[in-house]
Structure 1
Amino acid sequence: MLSVAALRAHLLAAGLAGPVATSREESLRSYRLFAARDPRVLIGLDPEWGWSERDLLALMADKCGVSADPAHRSGPDVIDPERTLGALDAFAGRLAAAAARRAPVLFGTGHPHRLLGFYADLADALSAAGCDVLVPAQGRCVDIVTRFGVRTYNLDYVRGVALVREPGARGEGRETGAHTHSPLPVRLALEAAADGGGPLPELVVGDHGWVCGAGQLGIEAIGLADTDDPALFVGEAEGRVSVAVPLDDAVRSDYYRPLTRYVLNRACLSQ
């Protein structure tokens, strides 16, 4: 069993919390764009409240532990490991609740190179607990706006976790895919589930648009978010995201393995 102290030490040593690779400049730019309601940063959320840059900075200081000083404008951003630990406990609690009622669950990630293994292990555990891990719209096309223009991707699943691939990419089931913040993949998956007459997820687990897109549609959603992803924390503050875990979402994939063990243990889902 991984102790709280050991996980705290790992978070700091791996750069998952403490000073992180995300820069203060990146975070402040995201808060500025969110305040202007730029869809690239809203990632599927339609905020009910008016959020100024100062409001967002105060929220992120509370949720993540970043500096609340607006004059602090450069250098690495910072995540308080205690906030990460507290959010991981809440995250585990929602997984445990889903397992207890054998709820259908949908997993999806916009960071497949980094986070797919983390989510896949959770999906395996929930499946073993009797949950239906959904895979709707597999192989379907989705058009996503990128900085290079509109691109068409294919929705795929690896070990029960959704991701998008560029068209023509070979190797179904491989742990490769595109980085995206878009909510369109989760909307496509949910539409396909509804049209197919199958169950809709009672819980969506993931990041970026997967969480915000599902939460905006009234489906319980939990996920991971960096300091430059204010949408998940706004969604949490407004009651449309159940849990947003603050951490660096782009470190080496193996650095998330201790988090997997911790969460599964807390959720009483260790196999």
Structure 2
Amino acid sequence: MTARDSLRAHLLKHRLAGPDVPTPRQNNLRHYRLFAQGDPKALMGLEPEPRRDPDAVLRLMAERVGVHPDPRYTEGPDTIDPDLTIAALDRLALLLRRTAARRGSVLAGTGHPTKLAGFHGALARALEAAGCPVHTPARGVRFREPTPDGDRPRYLDVVDRVLVVRALDGPDRPDRPGRPGRPAVGELAHTHSPLPVRLALTALADAGHRPPDLVLGDHGWLCGAGRLGIPAGGVADCNDVAPFAAEADGLVAVVVPLEDGSDPSCYRALSDYVLQRADLAPYNS
């Protein structure tokens, strides 16, 4: 069995791609409508002009993700084409290989810290081992993020060379006291916001660094970097239109269609595959 065949079987077994991924059709269509309506959470920092209507969004996602193309199909399981996933992982590997060849600087961040920090971290550490500076700026910087329940205080932290967002209040308020110069430790927070990457890039500039040569991430990390003209690559689920729209519009280099809410261990095979294809030995901590 080839590496590609083995990966395809892994994607199907863990429902990371295939005909019955965990995100149902009705959820996908709701998010497609929100993107078409310009909902800020769905846009993830983009301001696309002209806007795509819901039918155009569905066509985009059918082409780039492999979801069911018929608008009359409104309920039930939906699809991520595993061959599109693998092809995008190959493109991501090429992006990493080119970055490593020129010893480019890297910034990694995720809006899915409990699921995807390990995937992004494996790529970032391998690039660092190949001589690429990996930046982790703005640790401890606080900001407020709009949520359906109102603005919530957040701050940036670093997990495994990857920037993440932590909560400062509510049921996920900090549960460990801080140390001098360090904030209390709150629960990891899921976010679609582009604000974290903007804060990180501002901190880099304030420290006298030029923008990174590559941003690795998802959600607002991809879209926020891409809108600023910074090369970016990462993953997005079948209900996340914005990264795929940014890729189609030439703002983001590579987006891998992938179920993004599975057990973190499921993504190890994917990072290993990318690093092998990039001629970067998988980094084992």
Q: TM bucket by the smaller chain?
A: over 0.9
| Residue 83 (structure 1) aligned with residue 84 (structure 2) | yes
Percent identity of equivalent pairs: 52
Residue pairs, 1:71-150, within 5 angstroms = 71-150=72-151
Tell me the alpha carbon deviations over residues 232-257 of structure 1, each in whole angstroms, 9 at most, x when there is no partner. 11000000011110010000000001
Deviation at 1:175, TM superposition (A): 11
Instruction: Name the structure 1 match of 2:12.
Output: 12
For the Cα contact (< 8 Å) 2:167–2:187, is it kept in 1?
Answer: no
Structure 2 stretches of 5 or more lacking a match?
Answer: none
Residue pairs, 1:1-271, within 5 angstroms = 3-18=3-18, 19-167=20-168, 169=174, 170=176, 177-271=188-282
Distance 1:159 1:225 in 2: 20
Tell me the alpha carbon deviations over residues 56-83 of structure 1, each in whole angstroms, 9 at most, x when there is no partner. 1011000011111000000121101000
User: Which amino acid is 2:209 matched to?
Assistant: G
Count of aligned pairs between the two proteins: 271
Structure 1 stretches of 5 or more lacking a match?
Answer: none
Distance 2:25 2:211 in 1: 38
User: Which amino acid is 2:133 matched to?
Assistant: D
Distance 2:217 2:145 in 1: 18
- Provide the secondary structure at the position in 1 that maps to 2:212: coil
Distance 2:78 2:145 in 1: 29
RMSD (CA atoms) = 1.8
Moved more, 198-207 or 101-110: 198-207
Give the TM-score normalised by the residue count of structure 2.
0.91
For the Cα contact (< 8 Å) 2:115–2:264, is it kept in 1?
Answer: yes
Give the TM-score normalised by the residue count of structure 1.
0.96
User: Which amino acid is 2:255 matched to?
Assistant: A
